[in-house]
Structure 1
Amino acid sequence: MEEFFASLYEWFGLNPLYSTDMGDQLRGWDITCTDYIGTPWYVIIGWIMIATTAFFYTLQYHIIDSSRWKNKTHWWIFALIIVLANFLVAFLIPYNSIQAGDYCNQLNITISDCVGFGLSNAVWSFILFAVITTIPVFRRFSNNCRHTTFWKP
């Protein structure tokens, strides 16, 4: 699972958003700089991203499911909330790790790396939300929002 999330967040080897040192930290490079036995942040943050996106999808399409919240504009509001929440999760976890000094001192990790990883997580959460809400199978159990996607009301 770690390799799946690592390849996803590193954009399948392109990784334009943050340094390889940040990638090593997120893979679980331990504080003693010896092996990948530390906390696997890619996996944890990846599952948080999936859970957050699924929660807000469920909230919009199955819990609120109101005729007032079925427009394309409301879809974009939920998408913005999802993107912001997932950006904050992916930014704050590594940032707090940097501030606390809980990483290998041989790694050069900066705040811009945290921002880049946050952006990567935000983009993947948006893509996941767009895919989930585009597939009709998931939406058909909604009464009012079953036709609501990002491209049509």
Structure 2
Amino acid sequence: MEEFFASLYEWFGPNPFYSKDMAELMRGWDITCTGYIGTPWYVIIGWSMVAITIASYVLQYHIIDSSKFNKKHHWWIVAAIVVLFNFLNAFLIMNNTIQAGDYCTQDNIGISDCIGLGLSNAIWSFILFILLTSFKYPRNLGINCSHTTFWKP
């Protein structure tokens, strides 16, 4: 799973949002600068992004599922909340790690790297939310919001 999330967050090539040192930290480069035996942040942040996005989907389409909450602007409100929560999740986790000094001191990592990771996480969560709400099944298990999608609000 680490390679899967790493390829996503690194955008299948050189990452446009954060530095190579941040990518090394995300892969688990340890504090002693000796190997990839540290915390695998890609996996942690990737799975939390998936969980937050799926929970938001379930909340909108299967728990709330109200006739008052099935308009186009409601989909965009939930999508904005998903994007915001996932941005903050990635940004705060990595910013706290950097502030605590839990990374190789030879790496040049700053706040802009945390913002870039948060932005990358937000974009992927938006893409995942679009995909989740685009497929008919299990969206059609909901009654009122089953026709509210990105493509056909």
Query: What is the aligned partner in structure 1 of residue 135 from structure 2?
Result: 135
* TM-score, reference length from structure 2: 0.98
Unaligned runs of 5+ in 2: none
Compare 134-143 and 114-123 and name the one that shifted more: 134-143
- Deviation sequence 1:35-60 (CA, Å, 0-9, x none): 00000000000000000000000000
Matching of residues 97-108 of structure 1 within 5 Å: 97-108=97-108
Displacement of 1:151 in angstroms is 2.8
- Which residue number in structure 2 is paired with residue 3 of structure 1? 3
**Counterpart position of 1:118:** 118
Matched, 1:94 2:100: no
1:55 and 2:39 are equivalent in the alignment: no
Q: How far apart, CA to CA, are the structure 2 residues paired with 1:107 and 1:130?
A: 36
Is the 1:72–1:151 contact (alpha carbons within 8 Å) kept by the matching residues of 2? no
- SS of the residue corresponding to residue 38 of structure 1 reads coil
SS of equivalent residue, structure 1 residue 11: coil
Between the aligned partners of 1:19 and 1:141, the Cα distance in structure 2 is 43
Return 5+ residue gaps in structure 1 as ranges.
Answer: none
Q: Which residue of 2 aligns with 1:27?
A: 27
Matches within 5 A, 1:31-50: 31-50=31-50
Query: Hey, which bits of structure 1, 4+ residues long, moved more than 3 A?
Result: none
Question: Kindly, what percent of the aligned residue pairs are identical?
Answer: 69
Residue 72 of structure 1 corresponds to 72
